[in-house]
Structure 1
Amino acid sequence: MPAPSLDAGALPDAHPASLWRRLPASWQPYVQLARLDRPAGWQLLLAPCLSSTCLATIYRLQAPNYLLLLLFFIGAVAMRGAGSTFNDLIDREIDARVERTRGRPLPSGRVSPRAAAIFMLTQALVGLLVLLSFNSFAILLGLCSLIPVAIYPFLKRFTSWPQAALGLAFSWGALMGWAAQTGGLSAPAIWLYLSGVAWTIGYDTIYAIQDRKDDVSAGVKSTALLFGDHLSLAVALFYLAAVLCAEIALISVGAGLVAHLGLLAFAGHLVWQIRRLDNADEALALKLFRSNGPAGFLLFTGLFGENLLFYLVR
């Protein structure tokens, strides 16, 4: 099998308009390992962090914490890259048997496992430096996030619910934002976390539509295979759970109209996805999955607007 092009666009799930492809060809495999050419990943990791931070500042009647929001941005990009590189290291043999992933840097031989491991540790170090800038409770909580991150790549071999483990990992920011702002955890953060878990299961089930045929031949499992013909209904139920849990989180901190408008916009986007979803259309599944990246910031925008408005007019 010939090696794929070094251009970032050679990977079928890379964003077609990615600016990263303008970097030197020797850098492209590392761009792909870190998923920098696929921004939806770090956006999905970041959105719960930002929303939770603003939820906490609304609860405590504080000004927006701009430094904390910036730190979460840096940490989300770094840890998304480290987690993706770890996942690719673990899955490189499976990836070689799946059409969508066989062109990735490790199965295609463009990066050695040793070089990928060094790159992973470098990104993790950046994430660690961000984590160490938080309070002691948030640091401990952040270290605990490594548990679902570590087990996620292995679950597809044993259970049809790897998307649930991804939800536990990707939604951890809903706990981290609150903890970094308050030094502890409270019910609103838990509700926001549950919202993120349900949302993640939904959008990653859509993402897994692309790989159903190859997953069967590779012997791995997913909720896309588990739900079968009922996939659209299952995703709709998880999206409904995500909205309801987020609403409980907002009510529990006394959030007002602006925050609820953000949630309404988020809910409207999820409805739009369900109405368009076609279980047999792999290209559409990728587009709908990607749309969740910016969609996650709709709730954050409402919460930030509520937080900022209250602080300015109080």
Structure 2
Amino acid sequence: MQKSLTMKQSHHISNTFIFLILLFFGCLLMAPFIWMISVGFDRTANVTMPFPPQLIPDNVSAFNYGIIFENGRVFKAYINSAIVTISSVSLSVSSAMLGGYAFSKGHFKAKKLLFLIVLATLMIPIEPRLIPLYKLLNTVGLLNTFWPLILPSLVSGFLLFLCKQFFDQLPDTLREAAQIDGAGEFKIFFTVYLPLAGPIAATMIILSFIWSWNDFLWPLVVLNDQELHTVPLFLASFSLENGTSLGGLTMALATVSILPIIIVYLFLQRYIIQSIALSGVKGE
């Protein structure tokens, strides 16, 4: 009995120690975001940035946020980003679902070779693809529109791989039973497998949403009209126009720009661990 209590106490102390270490590093990682929010509520930061950094400003004020929302450009940038992000997420998740199911449950020639080609695309960064993509889109006359930001998301090697790994964990007997009942492939996918793919769909939505909303380099290349600027481009242009002279406004705008990502993540976060556990990414 004494030994059992000692082991429980040792286990409790160990868990407490691990929790404190994780809490420390979590606070350390959150420090820049907390400072960003703090500066956004500091009206005097438009004159000079507070040093040393303060957790709570001396004069808490929503002045910076009022100025931001008085400017109609930020709403236009939000609308542009919303159009691009919703379209990109819809296309990328839908195509990854269909492609992942095909590579997982389908039987066709050169299946493994095609999947290796898809995986090979993960080794090519965006920079070498900028010029070919730009020339292609320029040829078809799609530059300075939202299409260059939406169409490339139609194929995502990483999302397709993630989705295939998830479907690999689902039993083939479900498909065989549906085939015995006379169901075709599309009916099997939409009525049998798709309802089970909620966790992986939520994870892909979060990932593709973050990629699309935060994308900066590619929109900078293909968008010249300020009326089409997304939130990252608007934030960059605002910073270039004002430098550090309006630090409070810049930080308030940065805080507002990441709010959609935080909201989407909070709604879908509970699916992430579940999807990773079921997708085979854990190294099995």
What is the TM-score when the length of structure 2 is the normalising length? 0.30
Higher RCO (C-alpha under 8 Å, 6+ residues apart) = 2
Asked which structure has the greater CA Rg, the reply is: 2
What is the TM-score when the length of structure 1 is the normalising length? 0.28
